[in-house]
Amino acid sequence: MATHSGSTKRPMCPSCSKPTRLCLCTRLKTPRLHNSVAITILQHSLEKKHPLNSTRIASIALENLSVIPVSDVNSQAEFSIRLLNPNPEMGVANLDENGGILKQRQCDCSVDLKPSKSKIFNRNAEKAVVFTVEKQGRIACFQDSWKVKNGVARWDFDQLLGCREAVSDLGKGFVVKKLQRKRVEFEEEKEEFEIAVPEGSVLLFPSEKSGGVEGLDFEVKNLIVLDGTWAKAKRMYKENPWLKLLPHLKLDMEDRLSLYGEVRLQPKQGCLSTIESIVYALKAVGEEDLEGLDGLLHVFASMVGDQRRCKDERLNKPYSRNE
């Protein structure tokens, strides 16, 4: 069923959010690809409506995927982290942006379940880490339960990662919750997201601590990806310090050019779109449906081609002016 957008009244596809004449859904293989490695996309709030945002392809093509909207820290944000309940029989749970269970994945199957949240994690459990973040990622206040137990003063995540007990506990999975704070006459708080980060999660992001798949000593079960321009992605990384708790994965793509081409410039060679990064990362960690993954790249290339043709049509369209 098509919808209409704003004053343009163009029929829009509700699934891929593209004009119906440029709909991506019919170009995709059905049913959705069953990716055994879950994908969690942290999408910058300004990226969703970009006409060339490639997360829309992942959203309609991959079965085991969550997209979490993330905003910049305008004034101050509070983060709290609690540990997941160690219950191997429950498998891995994904949460939506409201903290609801999306899917229960166990072994090699994926089915829709709605178990009680308390069975997945203890919502009343003591918070393991609590901290506040100001603009550009400056941590204004930091407290963790391991510091309390061991009497060791710590002020940031780099020092926390020096605690073996903390690293071991957090490596088994945790839930992170973000509250945005606005400084008005009375302080206002609004929950932005609550995300389950299961054991076996890695962050796809190039940094000094990033390494290749060959350096991981565990099975990757969940891939976290930042979606936005490179400037926005770097800001998201700074303003979400909890990402430092995760092993960082990078792809050896320095010689590869993005399919974006000239329609959306990248900072340098090797900088890829979100969908390209996901596809190559899934291949690297052992996803077997290589043909299906390559199909996502073909759809992405066709979307870029649509944008290029639309641009050429606008440039070549005759116009009149009042003389």
In Å, how far from its chain's centre is CA 5?
Answer: 26
Q: CA 296 to CA 299: how far, in whole Å?
A: 5
279 found inside a domain: yes
Task: Please identify which residue in the block is written with the tokens 């219950």.
Answer: 87
Q: CA 306 to CA 85: how far, in whole Å?
A: 47
Share of the chain above pLDDT 70, in %: 76
17 found inside a domain: no
Looking at residues 145-159, what average pLDDT do you find? 81
Distances (CA, A) of 83 to 90, 137, 177, 196, 199: 15, 23, 12, 9, 11
Quick check: 306 pLDDT over 60? yes
88 — pLDDT class (breaks 50, 70, 90): very low
CB 24 within 8 A of CB 57: yes
Task: Please identify which residue in the block is written with the tokens 């973040």.
Answer: 133
146 found inside a domain: yes
1 found inside a domain: no
Number of folded domains in the chain? 1
Q: CA 226 to CA 204: how far, in whole Å?
A: 8
311 found inside a domain: no
Distances (CA, A) of 163 to 60, 126, 144, 147, 218: 41, 19, 11, 9, 20
| Distance, first Cα to last Cα, the chain | 44
Top pLDDT among 104 and 124 is at 124
Distances (CA, A) of 50 to 19, 226, 236: 13, 15, 18
317 found inside a domain: no
With CA atoms as reference, report the closest residue to 181 among 238, 131, 227, 144.
131
Q: CA 98 to CA 188: how far, in whole Å?
A: 19
Top pLDDT among 255 and 42 is at 42
CB 53 within 8 A of CB 227: yes
Mapped to the 3 state alphabet, what secondary structure does 181-230 carry?
A: EECCCCCEEEEEEEEEEECCEEEECCCCCCECHHHCCCCCCEEEEEECCH
Task: Please identify which residue in the block is written with the tokens 């973000």.
Answer: 178
Q: CA 130 to CA 183: how far, in whole Å?
A: 19
With CA atoms as reference, report the closest residue to 10 among 27, 24, 22.
22
9 — pLDDT class (breaks 50, 70, 90): confident
Q: CA 288 to CA 234: how far, in whole Å?
A: 31
Top pLDDT among 272 and 264 is at 272
Looking at residues 256-265, what average pLDDT do you find? 67
Quick check: 193 pLDDT over 80? yes
Q: CA 255 to CA 208: how far, in whole Å?
A: 19
300 found inside a domain: no
Q: What is the pTM of this model?
A: 0.80
What is the residue range of 164's domain?
A: 27-289
DSSP 33: B
Top pLDDT among 186 and 44 is at 44
107 found inside a domain: yes
Burial of 270 (0-12, 13-18, 19+ CB in 10 A): middle
SS3 253: coil
Burial of 243 (0-12, 13-18, 19+ CB in 10 A): buried
